[in-house]
Amino acid sequence: MRVAVISDIHANLHALEAVLAAIEDEAPDAVWCLGDLVGYGPRPNRCCSAVAARASVSLCGNHDLGVLGEIDLEDFAPDAAQAAEWTRTVLSDDARTYLEGLSPKARADGVELFHGSPRDPVWDYVLSGEAAFDALELTSDPLVLVGHSHVPLAIVLAGDDLAGGLAPGGAEVDLAAGRWLLNPGSVGQPRDGDARAAWLLLDLPRGTASFRRVEYPIDRTQAEILERGLPEALAARLADGV
Ligand code: ZN
């Protein structure tokens, strides 16, 4: 079973289309999505329909729940809240129905999946060794997948020893020894200083994980953000991958 893992698309259709094209080239058996399909970006409906068509496991994230009104936008940074409010005004019935059917956690093929973390699948960020240790302590499967931070990570717990960290594009990980926590990074708003869209290819029988990056037309997404009157900072940050 080979699985492409995507996360944090954030209504960036051009990034999503580039990633889905790269995924098709690999012809995996399944696509899993770790949530935040919408929020920040300009193309929420097309992103929801594309994920709905392709992903066999799909989670919701804090931005999806904020747009649905299931969590309070007062908990969001101002730019994120403004984008979520705008998304509410354009969200199609189909996209809303799709997002309403998603949970922030799931389990598939012996893998535990969370948008945030096992401690708090909606809001908790796994960005420190301590948080990764907690996430692996609170789970039991050999492989745990998280999104939410927009930073690709590969962290392993072998006995009491924690190792690993940032996983740049091109990183390959052997999953055979220890229990692993992986974050594929973000399709639509990377924050590790690499502006290219991120995704992850898992080969579960072989026990390998391959961190991938793909170029996309950032300027087209930026233009759409500005056309829709969304905060300029949300366009600017895409060029820097922050
Ligand atoms: Zn996100």
Ligand 1 center from residue 116 Cα (angstroms): 9
Contact criterion met (CB below 8 Å) for 126 and 135 = yes
Ligand 1 center from residue 160 Cα (angstroms): 30
Ligand 1 center from residue 159 Cα (angstroms): 31
pLDDT value, residue 182: 98
Ligand 1 center from residue 63 Cα (angstroms): 7
Q: In the predicted model, what is the mean pLDDT of residues 78-96?
A: 98
The mean predicted confidence, pLDDT, of the chain is 97
**What residues are neighbours of ligand 1 (ion), with CB under 5 Å?**
8, 36
Instruction: Return the SS3 of 67.
Output: helix
Ligand 1 center from residue 49 Cα (angstroms): 18
Ligand 1 center from residue 240 Cα (angstroms): 16
Ligand 1 center from residue 232 Cα (angstroms): 18
Q: How far apart are CA 207 and CA 176, in angstroms?
A: 6
pLDDT band at 98 (very low <50, low <70, confident <90, very high): very high
Does 3.60.21.10 match the CATH number of domain 2-239? Answer: yes
Q: How far apart are CA 6 and CA 183, in angstroms?
A: 9
Prediction pTM value: 0.97
Ligand 1 center from residue 36 Cα (angstroms): 5
Ligand 1 center from residue 26 Cα (angstroms): 25
Which pair of structure tokens corresponds to residue 91?
Answer: 């969200």
Close Cβ partners of 112 (under 8 Å, ≥ 6 residues apart): 105, 106, 118, 139, 140, 141, 143, 144, 145
Ligand 1 center from residue 80 Cα (angstroms): 10
- The alpha carbons of the chain give a radius of gyration, in whole angstroms, of 17
pLDDT value, residue 226: 98
Ligand 1 center from residue 48 Cα (angstroms): 14
pLDDT digits (tens, 9 = 90+) for 10-61: 999 999 999 999 999 999 999 999 999 999 999 999 999 999 999 999 999 9
Ligand 1 center from residue 74 Cα (angstroms): 16
pLDDT value, residue 180: 97
Ligand 1 center from residue 8 Cα (angstroms): 4
Cα 167 off chain centre by: 14
Ligand 1 center from residue 61 Cα (angstroms): 7
Contact criterion met (CB below 8 Å) for 8 and 148 = yes
Ligand 1 center from residue 69 Cα (angstroms): 16
Cα distances (angstroms) measured from residue 139 to each of 31, 58, 107, 179 = 22, 19, 11, 10
Ligand 1 center from residue 77 Cα (angstroms): 12
pLDDT band at 140 (very low <50, low <70, confident <90, very high): very high
